[in-house]
Amino acid sequence: MADFRIKTDNQYSAIYRNGKTGFSVGYYTAKEMKDFFPGGTIRVVGQLGYGKDKDIVGALEVGGVTENVYRVRSAANKKAAGYIELENGAFIAVKKDITALIILFVLLGVLVLALLIAGITYAVKASSHSGETQTESEPYGELAGDQEEGFGQLDLPEKADVSEKEVTIIGIPEMHLKAGQKQQNFILSNSLQNEGICFMEFTVYIDKNGDKKIDAGDEQLYKSGLVRPGYSISKFNLNRELDAGEYDGLVMEQPYSYDKARTPLNNMVISTKIIAE
């Protein structure tokens, strides 16, 4: 197993602590890392805070106390809070448990449902994702499908068996976009329910014929990269600026298996109303 050595001349702003062992070490926050590496290219060789015994790849030692370093793995309730720089220029991710945040989102969803049942009008279109409400995760922007929050590589199986799994598709009744500019702020999400099942690719069209199906005469406005389960695209550029008005739109949500093969699965084409204003 590897003997990881921390680069000692760094000025870390955050501290990872293990209350059970007394181990503590400084690290750069994820926000700082994005400032240091705007291109998002670093080498992540392990992680602290999450892993199983079979995934141990080495250890860190600080002040005579050691902490296991695990193989990089992803989980719906674990988020990279930051990174520790090593002497060889590689990094170790510091994982943070966000279970409480997920529970909070669930409780908020239950509260909204209770208000609706009580007859209180609450203008929420859960499936439209207009940009004001996001219940699964913060919008991270467009990420490559094999990236760990823009920095490390995901631990993906060679081939995932999804033959008996159901893919969750999120409907988009309306897309409110800005007229006269290519850059848009609108949330397109891959449901967290697709964890371990599929990435999602979004392609937006103007339905020129109004027949609610994609054909050669339709205009493609935007095509995304692969989006991880529970993640979103919140900013993107259209192929052209739109004049103010309403357009018949189509969104093809194309799932790809959550593995290294990324096999295309059955897609869904949904109708939407594109409103440029």
Based on the domain organization, do 62 and 151 belong to the same domain?
no
pLDDT above 60: residue 126: no
Helix, strand, coil abundance in the chain, percent, nearest 5? 10, 40, 50
Average pLDDT of the chain is 79
Q: Looking at the 3D structure of the chain, how many domains does it have?
A: 2
At 185-209, the pLDDT tens digits run 898 888 888 888 888 999 999 999 8
What pTM does this model have? Answer: 0.48
pLDDT of residue 136: 37
Beta strands in 21-89 (DSSP E): 23-29, 44-48, 56-62, 65-70, 78-85
pLDDT of residue 174: 93
In a domain, 118, yes or no: no
User: Residues 6 or more apart from 99 whose CB is under 8 A from it?
Assistant: 77
Cα–Cα distance list, 48 to 155, 247, 265 (Å): 15, 49, 34
pLDDT above 50: residue 254: yes
- CA dihedral (183, 193, 197, 69) positive or negative: positive
Residue 246 pLDDT grade (very low, low, confident, very high; cuts 50, 70, 90): very high
The residue type found at 254 is Q
In a domain, 16, yes or no: yes
pLDDT above 70: residue 120: no
Based on the domain organization, do 92 and 190 belong to the same domain?
no
pLDDT above 80: residue 41: no
Separation CA 250–CA 269 (nearest Å): 7
Residue 222 pLDDT grade (very low, low, confident, very high; cuts 50, 70, 90): very high
DSSP for 152-204 reads EE----SS---TTPPPP----SEEEE-TT-SEEEEEEE--GGGTTTEEEEEEE
Would you say 90 and 45 are in contact if contact means Cβ atoms under 8 Å apart? yes
The pLDDT of 211-220, averaged and rounded, is 90
Domain of 9 in residue numbering reads as: 2-97
Based on the domain organization, do 181 and 265 belong to the same domain?
yes
Residue 138 pLDDT grade (very low, low, confident, very high; cuts 50, 70, 90): very low
In a domain, 216, yes or no: yes
In a domain, 108, yes or no: no
Residue 241 pLDDT grade (very low, low, confident, very high; cuts 50, 70, 90): very high
Would you say 228 and 190 are in contact if contact means Cβ atoms under 8 Å apart? yes
pLDDT of residue 206: 94
Separation CA 48–CA 51 (nearest Å): 8
Which of left, alpha, beta for 21 (phi over 0: left; psi -120 to 50: alpha)? alpha
Based on the domain organization, do 177 and 265 belong to the same domain?
yes
Where is the domain boundary, 82, 97, 112?
Answer: 97
Where is the domain boundary, 97, 130, 157?
Answer: 97
The CATH number covering residue 211 comes to 2.60.40.2550
Where is the domain boundary, 34, 68, 97?
Answer: 97
In a domain, 203, yes or no: yes
Q: What token pair was written down for 261? A: 């093969």
* Residue 202 DSSP one-character state: E
Would you say 69 and 2 are in contact if contact means Cβ atoms under 8 Å apart? yes
